[in-house]
Amino acid sequence: MNILRRRIAALALMANSSIVPAASITTATIVASTASPTCLEYKVVGICYWLFCTNFGCQVRTSTKVAHFVPDAVVSSYANTGENPWIEVSTMGAPNATAQAGNDGTTNHGNENNMTRFREADVIGHPGGFAFSQFASGSGYACKGAGTAYVPYLLSSIDTWAWRYGIPEAVYPESLIPGMREVGSLLTANTWGSVYPRSGFIHQADGYKASAVIAQRAGDVTTRVGQPHVYLPMVAMPQDGYWPAGALMEGNSMTGKWQELTPTLSPTCAAFPSLAPNLESGDQSYAWALWRPYACCERRGQIFLGSVDFQPSGGTL
């Protein structure tokens, strides 16, 4: 009877736990997740002017300027090297000679509240480009994002010096000055962690928050050029009638927002820190889609004359 009672108690504890079982995600599920009107946030924001010329003369044509978010990449943050929860690409971040293990620091005491955590992170081009284009075009003209499907923009397992040793960012001012670059705010006592140094180590008792900050760090690197990391910049160049997303900034949804893919699949997007369910994955593996803002208009002439926005604002959208 005592054994039975212990088993019942253990089952009840599991039922009430905020930790969900280990979860993985497939490409098909990721592609389907792009059909999210709240993440898309499609808007008509202005008018573009084009000069169209033929042998018979020139005329000014107009086209509608639109703005919306695009799912550029899937950003995975996970504890064990080589165990990206996105099944089809998990081998991209496989262990190698310089990165063979991961997971949290531990003293093997069951009652410890472990603060030091390590996460690998992969930033891989979102596979849902075609499905998203079909979905977005239902609202009108659609903009192209900077991400290319399945392209590995950052694999932390080959970014060894920066990701595992914090070289050289451990001595940057952003790393040494409290509150300079925080996901959350020290003033409100709601900080998830510092963006710098952009490495895999973080002091955070909550596994979900720790992984979210690591994802933010990976996104911060890949949306900029010239960073001291081994990566490919996920950056598009401005063109006539095309205004691409800029650098990702923590807490600012106008620079990018996150859609949780696993351990729970969310139909909405938000910037960190958000009100997303604080559920910890059983194996500490997480994945989010990074949506970034773009504006564009259809080309209707040889020369772009400019654009007028209906409601000028500080952001792209």
Q: Residue 68 pLDDT > 70, yes or no? A: yes
Q: What is the pLDDT of residues 3-18, one digit of tens each?
A: 434 433 333 333 333 4
Q: What is the pLDDT of residues 267-280, one digit of tens each?
A: 999 999 875 556 77
Q: Residue 275: its pLDDT value, please?
A: 57
Q: Residue 137: its pLDDT value, please?
A: 87
Q: What share of the chain in percent tops pLDDT 90? A: 72
Q: Where on the phi/psi map is residue 249: left (φ > 0), alpha (ψ -120 to 50), or beta?
A: beta
**Span 7-30, average pLDDT:** 57
Q: Residue 107 pLDDT > 80, yes or no? A: no
- Rg of the chain over Cα atoms, rounded to whole angstroms, equals 22
Q: Residue 189 pLDDT > 80, yes or no? A: no
Q: Which residue has the tokens 């009652």?
A: 111
For residue 17, the SS3 value is coil
Tell me the C-alpha distance between 190 and 159, whole Å.
30
Q: Which residue has the tokens 């050289």?
A: 168
In this prediction the pTM is 0.87
**Domain spans of the chain?**
21-309
DSSP code of residue 263: S
Q: Residue 114: its pLDDT value, please?
A: 57
Q: What is the pLDDT of residues 284-313, one digit of tens each?
A: 899 999 999 999 999 999 999 999 999 754
The type of residue at 80 is N
251 or 21, higher pLDDT:
251
Q: Residue 22 pLDDT > 90, yes or no? A: no
Q: Residue 315 pLDDT > 50, yes or no? A: no
Q: Residue 205: its pLDDT value, please?
A: 87
Q: Residue 110 pLDDT > 70, yes or no? A: no
Can you point out the beta strands (E) in the chain?
19-20, 43-54, 57-78, 116-118, 120-125, 152-155, 182-185, 190-194, 201-203, 242-243, 257-262, 280-281, 285-297, 303-309
Structure tokens at 247: 């650098």
Average pLDDT of the chain, as a whole number = 87
